[in-house]
Structure 1
Amino acid sequence: MSGPLYLLKTRRFAPLFGTQFLGAFNDNLYKNTLAVLLTFQAAEWTSISSALLAPLIGAVFIAPFFLFSGLSGEIADRLDKARLARIVKVWEMIMMIVAAAGFANHSFTTLLMVVFGMGMHSTLFGPIKYSIIPQHMKENELIGANALIESGTFGAILLGTIAGGALAAIPNGGVIASLCALVVAVVGYLFSRYIPSAPPPSREEPFAFGFWKHTTDAIALAYRDRLVFLAILAISWFWLYGALLLSQFPSLVKDLLMGSEGTVTWILALFTLGIGIGSVLCERLSHHRVRYTLVVAGAVGMAVAGVDFALGIGTFEPDGILSQNPHFWRIVADVTLLGIFGGLYSVPLYALLQERSAPEARSRIIAANNILNALFMVLGAVATMAILSMGYSIAWLFGIVALATALVGSIIYKVRREK
């Protein structure tokens, strides 16, 4: 077969892809609708400062990853993953019904509970989607399947963000967005009905409930294999970098480029398109095998594009129409390249995680990955606030992260050579 797109025609992959895509879309549709409404109508909803609302929503959404990832991985290693996927989609439908009621009653507490509930949705589904892939894919299809999941996830994030912003701008936008998300969740549930059964391997040890025990056990499992743990840390760095870019694009466009909301959307679209191109390119270049050279090349590419991006925004001067400014196109090219090299970097790491993880522990290792991804994103947000509060510019921030990415690439190269 030429390329991984044929997987979208198979029952062993297409229903999982559809379920994942629509779930990621809904997460971002709801979060962005709420964020926009609270940004422009904060006084009608809560007494909390509008400046604190965005980080509060992000913190509430990410909290379940710390609290329940270990438990969700343990459950996914013990039960049929296809059945669990359907249960998660039912939970998503319930959350969207509650969200509609929260928007209709202007209940900030209810809406914040739904943010937590959607975080739970992603926490529960994460170990399922990545650990089910090697159960239904052949070994030479892992790269292609992960390329499609990766590009589809970022596409869903972009579309959900755009849809949320658009719906928030119309009367009763919150209620309408929730009802639209409910329809999407129902369609996602129908997709999940067609995911083939994925029974767990036999496990002898008894189930013991405990939040922190499951969390520490999952991380300990991942740590046993040095290469697996390195892959998790490398993936977590990718999410730190990506979250930093996505969070800073709006203020960068508004305050530095003097652009509009449409410019933000366009730049986000190019970054997302870059991720998709890089993911598919990785599948083409890998020849169906995990190639560490692609990871290193992706890290170096992100570092070079990131440094040029930092230099570009550091020297940018608004001059008339944005689209006629040649320095603007330099920035656009760098953002696209960051996405392309990001896809090249991340896809082999996910395939490595699936390939080297024991089947009976795979979901828990994926859960460990989710925990550390969340931790890195939080640390990245804290570091961002610290760097900017010390008076450094956003260009310095991006430059520091780009140089650190080069260091990550060199560590991966060194460890692989030792192997």
Structure 2
Amino acid sequence: MANQFQLFKHRRFSAMFFTQFLGAFNDNVFKQALILVLTYTAASQLGMEVSILNNLAAMLFILPYFLFSALAGQIADKYEKSKLTQLIKLLELVIMAIAAVGFVFEWYALLFVALFLMGTHSTFFGPIKYAYLPQAMKEDELVGANGLFQMGTSLAILLGMIIAGVLTQLSQSLYWISMTVLIVAVLGYLAARYIPIMPAMQPSLQINWNIFTTSLATVRYLYSLPFLFCVILGNSWFWFYGATFLTQMPELSKVILHGDESVVIFLLTLFSVGVSIGSLLCKSLTKNQVSLRLLPFGIAGLSIFAIDLYFSLSGLNINVSNDTFLSVSDLVGMSGSWRVFADLFFLGFSGGLYIVPLYASMQAYAPKSHRARIIGANNIFNAIFMVTSAIFAIVILNTLALSMPQLFLATGLLNIAFGAFLYIKLNRHIKSAVIQTHDEVVP
């Protein structure tokens, strides 16, 4: 297909795209609004540290990925995906109704419950949407579809955070937030109703409801497929990498660039737009083929621009008083700022070149009967790597008392070692993965 945007003409793609876009958007409107409420209102009311509340919120959202990802993969393999998606979207509507009550009455315990449930919703939806793509797309559409999904996810996250910031500035903001998340949940359910029926891949599967033995069995099965295991390590490294950089954006803006809130959004936009453009280019650069040929360029870019970000930030000289905050237009006119902006954009761009080939490979080479469970295992490892990212940043910034630019430098150098390891391992195991895919031998 000459242009991947032509996929939007097909209901088999557009319905799932908008379902997942609205889901990711709602996740981030809710999460960001809750963080802002906790930061500016709840902390003083509850007499607790802001950092404790925000870290608790982050933990509650990511915990379901550890607990339920393997179970979610089993369910997605056993049942037909369109009805399953509609059911999950109905649950999102219930969860957002709970969140709305929590916001309106300022019941923070209820908001934390809703946050955990929203993380659970995302956990169960993830294996469905990524196992759906290789089932619904033709072979020469898979890379383009993944590029659009990655673009959509990046933009949904960014827009969700921006809209949450806007809503919290309005009068009666808690009512506006509540109404928004409910409306988006309804739209997500309506989009899900247009998803065409996709037959279950293993309807005879006996589901193991013990989440601990299920998780262990899923990870063991993944480990028996060396190529897919390495692909998922690579996927999870992207989440480690992205979390390490994006978590620092507010402090980078405030402390180093002396920027106001608009600068935070601008930096996030640069990174997200970079990811989107890199993701979209993967289709034409790989000529529609599921291929790892772009991976070395993605790995190289992630290191080059992280290391250059260290030098560009270290050489930056912004002379303003501590209580003066600059706008984006102020920073644009300052010497050295464009290099910082370019580094963040190309970090995102390199990330797009890196992640799309890995996601397409995971979908293409996973055994059809176990595809959703493989994606469930991927989500488990993503969660582990994101938590590790937070620990890594704490060690660098607090324990070792290094600077934020030094954190970026360390991450870029670490990426060289990990990227080389990953690429060598993937090339070593890809032939066996191709053979297994053709034979479809599933234990």
2:303–2:415 Cα contact (<8 Å) kept = yes
Deviates more, 1:170-179 or 1:295-304: 170-179
SS in 1 for 2:369: coil
| Cα separation, 2, equivalents of 1:205 and 1:125 | 19
The aligned residue for residue 279 of structure 2 is: 279
Instruction: Please state how far the C-alpha of 1:170 moved relative to its aligned partner.
Output: 2.0
1:160-213 Cα offsets, whole Å, 9 max, x none, are: 000111111223312311211111111110110011111212354533320111
1:82-126 Cα offsets, whole Å, 9 max, x none, are: 111111111111111111111111111000001101101110100
Instruction: Please state how far the C-alpha of 1:45 moved relative to its aligned partner.
Output: 4.4
**5+ unaligned residues in a row in structure 1: which ranges?**
none
Map 1:45-194 onto structure 2 (within 5 A): 45-194=45-194
1:53-98 Cα offsets, whole Å, 9 max, x none, are: 2211111100000011111111111011111111111111111111
Map 1:246-395 onto structure 2 (within 5 A): 246-319=246-319, 321-389=330-398, 390-395=400-405
Deviates more, 1:157-166 or 1:313-322: 313-322
* Identical columns (%): 40
Instruction: Please state how far the C-alpha of 1:414 moved relative to its aligned partner.
Output: 1.6
Letter matched to residue 347 of structure 1: V
SS in 2 for 1:293: coil
| Cα separation, 2, equivalents of 1:89 and 1:385 | 36
Letter matched to residue 351 of structure 2: G
Letter matched to residue 261 of structure 2: E
Matched residue pairs, number?
419
The aligned residue for residue 432 of structure 2 is: none
| Cα separation, 2, equivalents of 1:27 and 1:207 | 28
1:81–1:128 Cα contact (<8 Å) kept = yes
Deviates more, 1:12-21 or 1:208-217: 208-217
Instruction: Please state how far the C-alpha of 1:218 moved relative to its aligned partner.
Output: 1.7
1:314–1:395 Cα contact (<8 Å) kept = yes
Letter matched to residue 197 of structure 1: I
| Cα separation, 2, equivalents of 1:313 and 1:295 | 27
- State the TM-score, normalized to the length of structure 2: 0.92
SS in 1 for 2:289: coil
1:45–1:108 Cα contact (<8 Å) kept = no
Instruction: Please state how far the C-alpha of 1:222 moved relative to its aligned partner.
Output: 1.6
Check if 1:397 corresponds to 2:407.
yes
For 2:419, which of 392, 409, 419 is the aligned residue?
409
| Cα separation, 2, equivalents of 1:341 and 1:318 | 28
Letter matched to residue 35 of structure 1: I
Return closer, same or farther for 1:333/1:285 CA change in 2, 3 Å cut-off: same
Letter matched to residue 122 of structure 1: S
2:302–2:415 Cα contact (<8 Å) kept = yes
2:78–2:205 Cα contact (<8 Å) kept = no
Letter matched to residue 318 of structure 2: P
Letter matched to residue 425 of structure 2: V
1:275–1:339 Cα contact (<8 Å) kept = yes
1:296–1:412 Cα contact (<8 Å) kept = no
Letter matched to residue 372 of structure 1: F
1:359-408 Cα offsets, whole Å, 9 max, x none, are: 11000000000000010000110111111112110111111111111222
